């Protein structure tokens, strides 16, 4: 409990908002109380069976007091993409690096602190509606520290011309810091938006990022969500993404995990009305002693809803990957189609993957399937490349890249696709001799 | 299918529910050290066995009933159960079928399994278990010629203590899980099979379990040992009469396969599932595990589960020997308010080990069914291979079918594949059959049998026939 108390003690250090509304104080208290009651999840908790977070619990994190970052540094961290941009440094909003000036009147992209100061009642109803403090101890912790993040609102029938880019930069500190961003995406009916959450930072940073995102889709809205997690390998990254879908809405998630010592992502979609479509794509690539855990859930709460999931994992050295995917079809949610696929590639004998694709089905007129495979590269394919004069190491590298490529194909923004492809190629072990190829591509 | 016709089939009574009135020598309900001493004494067991049981009992006391399964049942009062029930006159047990109580033989007649006929016609040695004591064992001489030991576990404890001491509890330790510990403390009977080196058992061995006396849990313990290059096929079949009170069954089955040995274990289980409101029915908590100790050994589990109110059963294989092979073929059918949480564990430890899992679940009525499986590839298990397929068929909109496959893979040369599908019987398939003059009921039967074919073809002939018949009776009526 002392570890838990250590985290909560930081609440006192939190900068109070100007004229904090009472509801938010009450919710923070509920979060703190919940976290104090349950503490950090243990291995006996089925949801955390394969992920040991004691390394996080042992650490003492403070809250950052500076959001300093030069424009040059910011450019180096960010993806070169034309977008509406909000920049956060160790969880603190940096307005000078952000750029949302060109936005139309029926679109809001602003930091949560400003949204709360301007019109807190407008966010009060949605904040925490999908992510309850009971969801996980980290959600409770996030709620306790709730105060900064992003609010994105897209008006009816608005098709946003550029993506919204949220850049979270983690800096190196003597004493690591923690941040608990809170993201709210509200896409009104028939609107279309792409949101990119990008996590990156100094290579020595050892901070904790614990983010909660909530997405509301109106009728026929289309939301594309990217999570690009490229944190330093000494960082801790915990995220949960919750989506509520109404009729004819389409949500697509792309979840890339390359960084962090421990990364845990939860994605939960509630398909509440007919013809809601949800697609999950994910790629995780662990090396060294990285631990990457993806828990996804799709709740088909209404008839004729559709989901499709494709996750791929590559694990080298002593890295460990966890995949847990659930497709849940409620009673009477007939004519649902739900597909799930998880394929994993182990590049080392000391790497481990624990995968559990679950189906929970209470309706009969449905089509559901899941498949998982774990294995190594196809020796025939390697032979085919070698027969064409490519050496074995490079052949393995190319095939590993191709394995990841299937998921990357689902990335529709070219600038992001290129970025991801390079990041994945750059992470391939040196033994694959692909550096020249990657550099050539960069040039 | 006409809905009244369907209704009739759904409401079909459990045809094998009848009670044979045989006086039982039953222990009073409750579980204490005295109960265990009573059981041990009734079985004329040596003292080391009693001590073994008591240790298990003390372990059990410290354990908690597992709650992770996708099952919903009221807590079991272990003090309300009687732990020993034997047909009267245990001391002068019949030596041949002629001496068997005619009422008992009648029971088998009603089940459609005339013991002597079956034994004679099918060439199967039957170790029939009526309640808890073996009452007839045939073909013993023929087996003895081959050097095969096939007897009740109680007899084995008395006659072959060296084998029991060496193997009992080595695959499923006493403290393995709550129900295994309970079984170790109070098991009353079961079968013991020992196949010596190089021997292929000359016939398929079969045991029919039958639960009879009211309020009596049945705690079977089966141990099968196959020495190097030995082979055996073992058949287990179960049926129980209609009861209002829930009956607890917690069996343990241990298989040991040495080098190049092959054990095939087949089960057909159709215990009383309870009435349409879920009243009565058997609680079936079984721990089955096979240990492929020797290189190139092979263990194959085949099961057809149609009965029981609650099924909690995960026949598993420990693939320790290099090149050893584990197989699990299962058809589980639930109807009414039955609940089944079943599956398998394949633990790959040796090199070049392989396992195959084929699970077919059919849920109808208001039943709930889960496949729960684990495939674990340990770091040393080079070139391990697993293929898993679990398909579910849902019949009606009030049932549920769930899949919880766990995979833990720590070797880069492993190949592990898992596939699962859930669907209902295709309208197009039905239409296709009907347009060719096959009525709906036959069509459904055909499609469901086709759905289960991969598993049925693994069953020995006698069981395959029974299984198909069982499936027709259990299921067809509920299709609409």
pLDDT tens digits for range A203-256: 999 999 999 999 999 999 999 999 999 999 999 999 999 999 999 999 999 999
Provide the pLDDT for residue B311.
92
Smallest Cβ–Cβ distance between B416 and the set A46, A332, A373 belongs to A373
Q: Which residues of A touch B (CB under 8 A)?
A: 46, 50, 331-332, 334, 344, 346-376
| CB A148, CB A112: distance < 8 Å | yes
State CA B77 to chain mean position distance.
Answer: 23
Give the ipTM. Answer: 0.84
Cα A348 to Cα A283: distance, rounded to the nearest angstrom: 18
Give the percent of chain B with pLDDT over 70: 75
Which of B342, B425, B430 has its CA nearest to residue B390?
B342
Q: Reduced to 3 states, what is the DSSP secondary structure of residue B459? A: coil
Q: Which residues of chain B from 417 to 456 reach within 8 Å of chain A, CB to CB?
A: 417-424
Contacts of B404 in chain A (CB under 8 A): 356, 358
- Mean pLDDT, residues B350-359: 96
Any chain A CB within 8 A of the CB of B88? no
Torsion of CA A106, A110, A115, A121, to 10 degrees: 40
| HEC assignment per residue over A28-76 | HHHHHHHHHHHCCCCCCCHHHCCCCCHHHHHCCCEECCCCCCCHHHHHH
Cα B233 to Cα B221: distance, rounded to the nearest angstrom: 17
Q: Which of A372, A400, A403 best probes binding to B when mutated, by most B CB atoms within 10 angstroms? A: A372
Strands (E) in A131-261, as ranges, are 149-154, 164-170, 177-179, 182-187, 192-201, 208-217, 222-229, 236-245, 250-257
Q: Strands A192-201 and A164-170, how do they pair? A: parallel
**Are B409 and A352 an interchain contact pair (Cβ–Cβ within 8 Å)?**
yes
Q: Reduced to 3 states, what is the DSSP secondary structure of residue B329? A: strand
Contacts of A362 in chain B (CB under 8 A): 399-400
Dihedral sign for Cα atoms in the order B216, B217, B218, B219: negative
Any chain A CB within 8 A of the CB of B11? no
Q: Which range among A313-317, B89-93, B281-285, B320-324 shows the weakest confidence by mean pLDDT?
A: B89-93
CA distance B456 to chain A (A): 23
| Residues A79-137: tens digit of each pLDDT | 989 999 999 999 999 999 999 888 888 999 999 999 998 888 888 889 999 998 999 99
Neighbour-count burial of A200, counting CB atoms closer than 10 A to its CB (0-12 exposed, 13-18 middle, 19+ buried): buried
Question: Phi and psi dihedrals of B270, rounded to 5?
Answer: -135, 55
pLDDT confidence of B124, banded at 50, 70, 90? very low
| Residues B409-443: tens digit of each pLDDT | 999 889 999 988 888 888 888 899 999 999 887 88
**Are A366 and B424 an interchain contact pair (Cβ–Cβ within 8 Å)?**
yes
Q: Which residue of A has its CA nearest to B389?
A: A371
At B476, list the tokens. Answer: 């067809």
Identify the H or E element spanning A353: strand A352-361
CA distance A311 to chain B (A): 14
**Are A349 and B410 an interchain contact pair (Cβ–Cβ within 8 Å)?**
yes
CA distance A240 to chain B (A): 22
| Residue A9 per-residue DSSP state | H
Q: Reduced to 3 states, what is the DSSP secondary structure of residue B137? A: strand
At B121, list the tokens. Answer: 């016609």
Smallest Cβ–Cβ distance between B401 and the set A349, A355, A361 belongs to A361
Q: A145 vs A209, B118, B382, B460, CA distance in Å?
A: 12, 73, 47, 64
Smallest Cβ–Cβ distance between B407 and the set A354, A365, A376 belongs to A354
| Residues B239-269: tens digit of each pLDDT | 544 444 567 889 999 999 999 999 999 988 8
At A169, list the tokens. Answer: 């930069």
- Mean pLDDT, residues A345-366: 91
| Residue B129 per-residue DSSP state | E
Cα A218 to Cα A233: distance, rounded to the nearest angstrom: 37
Contacts of A344 in chain B (CB under 8 A): 409
Q: Above 50 in pLDDT, residue A195?
A: yes
Provide the pLDDT for residue B121.
32
Which residue carries 């064992």 as its tokens?
A: B137
Write the CB contacts of A387 (distance below 8 Å, at least 6 apart in sequence).
none
Q: Which of A374, A378, A396 best probes binding to B when mutated, by most B CB atoms within 10 angstroms? A: A374
Across all residues in chain B, what is the average pLDDT?
80
Q: Above 60 in pLDDT, residue B135?
A: no
Q: What share of chain B is helix, strand, coil (3-state, %, to 5)?
A: 25, 35, 40
Cα A357 to Cα B425: distance, rounded to the nearest angstrom: 23
Terminal Cα-to-Cα distance of chain A (whole angstroms): 53
At A189, list the tokens. Answer: 């009916």
Provide the pLDDT for residue B223.
95
Q: Which residue of B has its CA nearest to A344?
A: B416
| CB B402, CB A361: distance < 8 Å | yes
**Are B415 and A353 an interchain contact pair (Cβ–Cβ within 8 Å)?**
no
Provide the pLDDT for residue B133.
44
Contacts of B68 in chain A (CB under 8 A): 46
Cα A336 to Cα A42: distance, rounded to the nearest angstrom: 35
Q: Which residues of chain B from 328 to 387 reach within 8 Å of chain A, CB to CB?
A: 379
Smallest Cβ–Cβ distance between A370 and the set B397, B409, B420 belongs to B420
Mark out the alpha helices in B28-160 (DSSP H runs): 33-42, 47-61, 102-111, 115-122, 140-146, 153-159
Provide the pLDDT for residue B246.
60
pLDDT confidence of B456, banded at 50, 70, 90? confident
Provide the pLDDT for residue B97.
52
Give the percent of chain A with pLDDT over 70: 97
- The full length of chain A comes to 443
Cα A332 to Cα A340: distance, rounded to the nearest angstrom: 21
Question: Phi and psi dihedrals of B257, rounded to 5?
Answer: -115, 120
Neighbours of B198 (CB within 10 A): 13
| Residues B361-400: tens digit of each pLDDT | 999 888 999 999 999 999 999 999 999 999 998 888 888 9
Any chain A CB within 8 A of the CB of B64? no
Cα A163 to Cα A157: distance, rounded to the nearest angstrom: 16
CA distance B244 to chain A (A): 28
**Are A361 and B422 an interchain contact pair (Cβ–Cβ within 8 Å)?**
yes
Buried b / exposed e along B320-350 (16+ C-beta atoms within 10 A): bbbbbbbbbbbbbbbbbbbbbbbbbbbbbbb
Give the percent of chain B with pLDDT over 90: 41
**Are A364 and B396 an interchain contact pair (Cβ–Cβ within 8 Å)?**
yes
Cα A189 to Cα A155: distance, rounded to the nearest angstrom: 8
**Are B412 and A358 an interchain contact pair (Cβ–Cβ within 8 Å)?**
no
The full DSSP string for A235-291 is -EEEEEEEEEE-TT-EEEEEEEE---SEEEEEEEEEE-STT-EEEEEEEEEE-TT-E
**Are A351 and B394 an interchain contact pair (Cβ–Cβ within 8 Å)?**
no
At B54, list the tokens. Answer: 């008591």
CA distance B167 to chain A (A): 32
**Are A346 and B421 an interchain contact pair (Cβ–Cβ within 8 Å)?**
no
Write the CB contacts of A211 (distance below 8 Å, at least 6 apart in sequence).
A142, A149, A168, A179, A180, A181, A182, A183, A197, A238, A239, A240
Which of A231, A321, A333, A225 has its CA nearest to residue A280?
A225
């Amino acid at each position: 409990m002392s570890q838990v108390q250590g985290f909560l003690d930081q609440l006192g250090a939190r900068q109070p908002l100007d004229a904090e509304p009472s509801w938010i104080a009450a919710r923070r208290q509920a979060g703190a109380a919940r976290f104090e009651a349950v503490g950090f999840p243990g291995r006996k908790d089925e949801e955390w069976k394969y992920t040991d977070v004691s390394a996080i619990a042992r650490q003492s994190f403070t809250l950052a007091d500076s959001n300093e970052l030069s424009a040059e540094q910011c450019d180096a961290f960010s993806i070169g993409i034309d977008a509406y941009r909000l920049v956060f440094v160790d969880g603190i909003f940096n307005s000078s690096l952000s750029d949302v000036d060109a936005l139309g009147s029926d679109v809001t992209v602003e930091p949560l602190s400003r949204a709360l100061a301007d019109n807190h009642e407008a966010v009060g109803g949605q904040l925490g509606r999908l992510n309850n403090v009971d969801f996980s101890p980290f959600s409770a912790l996030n709620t306790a520290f709730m105060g900064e993040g992003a609010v994105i609102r897209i008006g009816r029938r608005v098709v946003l011309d550029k993506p919204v880019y949220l850049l979270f930069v983690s800096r190196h500190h003597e004493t690591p810091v923690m941040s608990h961003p809170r993201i709210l995406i509200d896409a009104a009916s028939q609107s279309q938006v792409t949101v990119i959450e990008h996590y990156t930072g100094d290579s020595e940073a050892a901070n904790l990022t614990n983010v909660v995102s909530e997405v509301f889709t109106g009728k026929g809205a289309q939301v594309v969500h990217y999570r690009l997690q490229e944190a330093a390998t000494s960082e801790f990254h915990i995220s949960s993404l919750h989506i509520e879908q109404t009729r004819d809405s389409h949500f697509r998630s792309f979840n890339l995990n390359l960084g962090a010592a421990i990364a845990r992502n939860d994605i939960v979609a509630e398909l509440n009305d007919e013809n809601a479509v949800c697609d999950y794509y994910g790629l995780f690539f662990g090396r060294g002693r990285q631990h990457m855990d993806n828990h996804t859930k799709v709740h088909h709460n209404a008839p004729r809803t559709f989901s499709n999931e494709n996750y791929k994992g590559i694990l080298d050295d002593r890295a460990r990957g966890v995949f847990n995917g659930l497709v849940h079809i409620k009673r009477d949610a007939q004519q649902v189609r739900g597909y799930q696929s998880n394929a994993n590639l182990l590049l080392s004998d000391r790497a481990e993957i624990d995968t559990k694709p679950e189906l929970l089905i209470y309706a009969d007129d449905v089509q559901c399937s899941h498949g998982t495979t774990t294995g190594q590269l196809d020796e025939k394919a390697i032979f085919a490349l070698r027969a064409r004069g490519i050496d074995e190491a490079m052949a393995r590298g190319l095939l590993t890249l191709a394995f990841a490529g299937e998921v990357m194909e689902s990335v529709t923004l070219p600038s992001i696709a290129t970025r991801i492809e390079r990041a994945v190629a750059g992470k391939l072990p040196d033994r694959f001799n692909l550096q020249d190829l990657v550099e050539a591509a960069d040039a | 299918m006409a809905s009244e016709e369907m209704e009739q089939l759904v409401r079909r009574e459990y045809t094998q529910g009848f009670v044979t009135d045989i006086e039982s020598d039953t222990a009073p309900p409750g579980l204490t050290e005295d109960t265990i001493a009573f059981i041990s004494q009734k079985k004329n067991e040596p003292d080391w066995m009693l001590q073994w049981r008591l240790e298990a009992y003390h372990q059990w006391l410290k354990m908690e009933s597992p709650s992770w399964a996708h099952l919903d049942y009221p807590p079991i009062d272990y003090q309300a159960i009687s732990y020993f029930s034997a047909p009267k006159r245990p001391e002068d047990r019949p030596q041949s079928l002629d001496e068997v109580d005619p009422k008992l033989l009648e029971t088998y007649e009603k089940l459609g399994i005339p013991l002597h006929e079956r034994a004679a016609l099918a060439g199967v040695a039957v170790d029939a278990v009526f309640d808890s004591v073996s009452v007839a064992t045939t073909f013993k001489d023929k087996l003895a010629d081959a050097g095969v030991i096939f007897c009740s576990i109680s007899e084995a404890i008395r006659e072959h203590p060296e084998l029991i001491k060496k193997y009992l509890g080595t695959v499923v330790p006493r403290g393995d899980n709550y129900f295994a510990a309970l079984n170790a403390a109070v098991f009353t009977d079961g079968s013991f099979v020992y196949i010596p080196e190089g021997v292929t058992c000359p016939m398929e061995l079969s045991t029919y379990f039958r639960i009879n006396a009211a309020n009596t849990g049945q705690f079977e313990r089966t141990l099968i040992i196959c020495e190097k290059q030995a082979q055996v096929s073992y058949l287990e079949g179960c049926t129980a009469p209609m009861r209002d009170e829930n009956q607890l069954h917690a069996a343990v089955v241990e298989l040991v396969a040495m080098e190049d040995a092959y054990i095939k274990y087949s089960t057909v289980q159709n215990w009383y599932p309870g009435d349409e409101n879920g009243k009565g029915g058997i609680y079936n908590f079984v721990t089955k595990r096979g240990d492929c100790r020797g290189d190139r050994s092979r263990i194959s589990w085949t099961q057809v589960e149609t009965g029981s109110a609650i099924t909690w059963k995960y026949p598993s294989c420990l693939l320790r020997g290099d090149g050893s092979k584990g197989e699990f073929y299962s058809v589980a059918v639930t109807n009414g308010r039955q609940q089944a949480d079943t599956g398998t564990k394949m633990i790959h430890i040796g090199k070049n080990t392989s396992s195959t899992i084929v699970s077919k679940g059919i849920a109808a009525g208001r039943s709930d069914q889960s496949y729960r499986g684990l495939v674990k590839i340990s770091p040393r298990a080079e070139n391990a291979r697993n293929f898993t397929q679990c398909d579910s068929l849902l019949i009606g909109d009030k049932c549920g079918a769930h899949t919880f496959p766990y995979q833990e893979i720590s070797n880069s040369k492993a190949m592990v594949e898992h596939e699962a599908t859930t669907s209902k019987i295709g309208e197009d398939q039905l239409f296709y059959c009907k347009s060719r003059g096959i009525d709906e009921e036959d069509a459904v039967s055909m499609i469901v049998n086709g759905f289960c074919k991969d598993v049925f073809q693994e069953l020995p002939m006698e069981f395959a026939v029974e299984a198909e018949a069982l499936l027709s009776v259990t299921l067809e009526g509920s299709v609409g």
